[in-house]
Structure 1
Amino acid sequence: MKIGALTAAWAGQPLEEVLDFFAGAGLRAVEIGTGNYPPNSHCDPAKLNADAAARKAFMKAIESRGMVLSALSCHGNPLHPNVKVAKSNHEVFVQTVQLAKKLGISEVNGFSGLPAGAPGDKTPNWVVAPWPEDHLAALEYQWGVAIAYWKEQNRFLEKHKVNMCFEMHPNFLVYNPESLIKLRNACGDRMCANFDPSHLFWQGIDP
């Protein structure tokens, strides 16, 4: 097992300085954000996909410090009811998967996304109660949207031999083991887990 960290909290510092800090602390793995919620200041997938020399330099910066790139991170909401937000988040996801394949990385981390509660709504709606029944209707609609999207992305992921690892996070459709397994069963084996036990503790779930 290698202990690592996500660079997003150090987005304002150069990648090399962050890697030096990680290596000095004894970390041996690094997860790097590629855009959406985590900034892409350390890894711009559009630029790296287009430049083999830049990809080589990127990996050298990590490996020369005795570290491995454990995953790329594109946490976002590709199911957002705002079409522009959804499209932008989806494009970053696609670019990240393409980059992962080129770098020889098999894991991309992110969120499941969260749709609106009904067609025409403008705000994502996190449903956590079964009553009144309106909420169950909203949840059924959301799962229809999510399954249609992620089933298509599972085929894309399979083509690239990359796993999409979902962080079970509040305010997203996949927020606990039950919802993660539901999505995986509906969409395919490329739907995996980015396991953060802190999100289970507050729900009273024993990790």
Structure 2
Amino acid sequence: MRIGVYSDSLPHLDRRAMFQWCAERGLNDIEIGVGAWGPWPRPHLDIATVGSQKERDTIAGEMKEFGIRFSAINAAGNLLHPDPAKRADAQARFKAAVDLAVYFKVDRVITMSGCPAGKGGGALSIFPCWATSADDDNIFKWQMENEVGPWWRETSTWLAKAAPKVMVCLEMHPGVTIFNSAGFGELTKYVDRNVGLNLDPSHFWWQGIDPVAVVEEWGDRIGHAHGKDTKLYPDRIKKQGVLHFALPDPATAPWHFVSCGEGQDDATWVRFLKALRKAGYDGVISIEHEDPRYDGEEGTSRSAAGLSRALAQMAEAA
């Protein structure tokens, strides 16, 4: 396995500076972002120009100059947003990501399942994390049968023709319809194996899910992995639980994302990485910096150090 970087982790650097910063630290595998979610305006790829041959030649030249490889193209966003304009933008960015992946011979595109409204419609997504509400019970089943399943069935068929070497890897991200193993299991009834998973353990730790259990269940469907950690505050969780609506302030939040190795200990990371390898994954662990305590450069450096420790310990134990 190799350590890489998700480009959105370094939003204050332009593309050339971001490539150079990563290359100087031996982080040559870049997951480049073009999605609707993330820093705005997009700091490294512009959807308005990324389809032009001139821009693609420029990108290719910069990659060669700095020894950069693309590990994936990331189109994070809500592809099923109930607002038509937002849905169209997210889907356009997703298709641009697939097109870029084909052009640059990258076999992974990262996104989320999407989250539509409920059966009554409306302008806002409804996150289906419950099944007992008297007002909107069985929302997950409705979304899956009417929106998420059909859209991804059509997309899986399209991918097989338009980009047969590409796997789309869904990040199981709370806030969208597919956020845990049970949800992905339902989605597999609609899609072929060209729709898999981007395994980000940080989203599981705060939910009380063991990421290793997810790897053991879906190992052969994991096409990409993120390096991101979560710090839990047991005393705060006793009072607030893990579901909270506040900003991720380290002084008050019951949990927040942190650099790798600064939430879970090294032994936990070694166990997770070993599970990935045992499941057959030997690709990139792509650092996604979302630690509110540090800027992108420091947070990414800290994650690289934490992952390096874990990989070294795993090698020593082999």
Asked if TM exceeds 0.5, the reply is yes
1:45–1:99 contact (8 Å) kept in structure 2: no
Query: SS in structure 2 opposite 1:58?
Result: helix
- Measured after TM superposition, the shift of residue 172 of structure 1 is 0.6
Residue 13 of structure 1 aligns with an amino acid whose one-letter code is L
Rounded to whole Å, the distance in 2 between the matches of 1:29 and 1:95 is 20
- Measured after TM superposition, the shift of residue 106 of structure 1 is 1.1
Alignment of 1:167 onto 2:168: no
2:131–2:139 contact (8 Å) kept in structure 1: no
2:128–2:140 contact (8 Å) kept in structure 1: yes
| Counterparts in 2 of 1:186 and 1:67: CA distance versus 1, 3 Å | same
Mapping for residues 71-90 of structure 1, pairs under 5 Å:
71-90=72-91
Residue 164 of structure 1 aligns with an amino acid whose one-letter code is V
The residue that corresponds to 1:32 in the other structure is 32
**What is the CA deviation profile of residues 101-142 of structure 1, one whole-angstrom value per residue up to 9, with x for unaligned ones?**
111111110111101122322211112122135443322221
2:29–2:69 contact (8 Å) kept in structure 1: yes
Given the alignment, which residue of 151, 159, 169 partners 1:149? 151
**What is the CA deviation profile of residues 42-88 of structure 1, one whole-angstrom value per residue up to 9, with x for unaligned ones?**
1234523231x432331232243233100011111121111111111
Given the alignment, which residue of 44, 47, 50 partners 1:48? 50
Residue 20 of structure 1 aligns with an amino acid whose one-letter code is Q
Alignment of 1:179 onto 2:183: yes
Rounded to whole Å, the distance in 1 between the matches of 2:63 and 2:38 is 19
Worse-superposed segment, 169-178 or 5-14:
5-14
Alignment of 1:195 onto 2:199: yes
| Counterparts in 2 of 1:91 and 1:24: CA distance versus 1, 3 Å | same
The residue that corresponds to 2:67 in the other structure is 66
The residue that corresponds to 1:120 in the other structure is 121
- Measured after TM superposition, the shift of residue 157 of structure 1 is 1.4
Rounded to whole Å, the distance in 2 between the matches of 1:90 and 1:123 is 17
Rounded to whole Å, the distance in 2 between the matches of 1:135 and 1:63 is 53
**What is the CA deviation profile of residues 166-199 of structure 1, one whole-angstrom value per residue up to 9, with x for unaligned ones?**
1111101111122123212322211111111111
1:6–1:33 contact (8 Å) kept in structure 2: yes
Find the structure with the greater CA-based Rg.
2
Rounded to whole Å, the distance in 2 between the matches of 1:206 and 1:120 is 34
The residue that corresponds to 2:14 in the other structure is 14
The residue that corresponds to 2:94 in the other structure is 93
1:2–1:28 contact (8 Å) kept in structure 2: no
The residue that corresponds to 2:107 in the other structure is 106
Query: SS in structure 1 opposite 2:98?
Result: helix
Rounded to whole Å, the distance in 2 between the matches of 1:156 and 1:11 is 32
Query: SS in structure 2 opposite 1:124?
Result: coil
Rounded to whole Å, the distance in 2 between the matches of 1:133 and 1:18 is 49
- Percent of residue pairs bearing the same amino acid type: 29
Query: SS in structure 2 opposite 1:59?
Result: helix
Query: SS in structure 1 opposite 2:184?
Result: helix
1:130–1:136 contact (8 Å) kept in structure 2: yes
1:129–1:135 contact (8 Å) kept in structure 2: no
2:75–2:97 contact (8 Å) kept in structure 1: yes
Rounded to whole Å, the distance in 1 between the matches of 2:63 and 2:185 is 33
TM-score (norm 1): 0.91
Query: Which runs of 5 or more structure 1 residues have no equivalent in the other structure?
Result: none
Rounded to whole Å, the distance in 1 between the matches of 2:196 and 2:98 is 14
Rounded to whole Å, the distance in 2 between the matches of 1:106 and 1:23 is 21
Query: SS in structure 2 opposite 1:187?
Result: coil
Rounded to whole Å, the distance in 2 between the matches of 1:173 and 1:31 is 24
Rounded to whole Å, the distance in 2 between the matches of 1:18 and 1:107 is 21
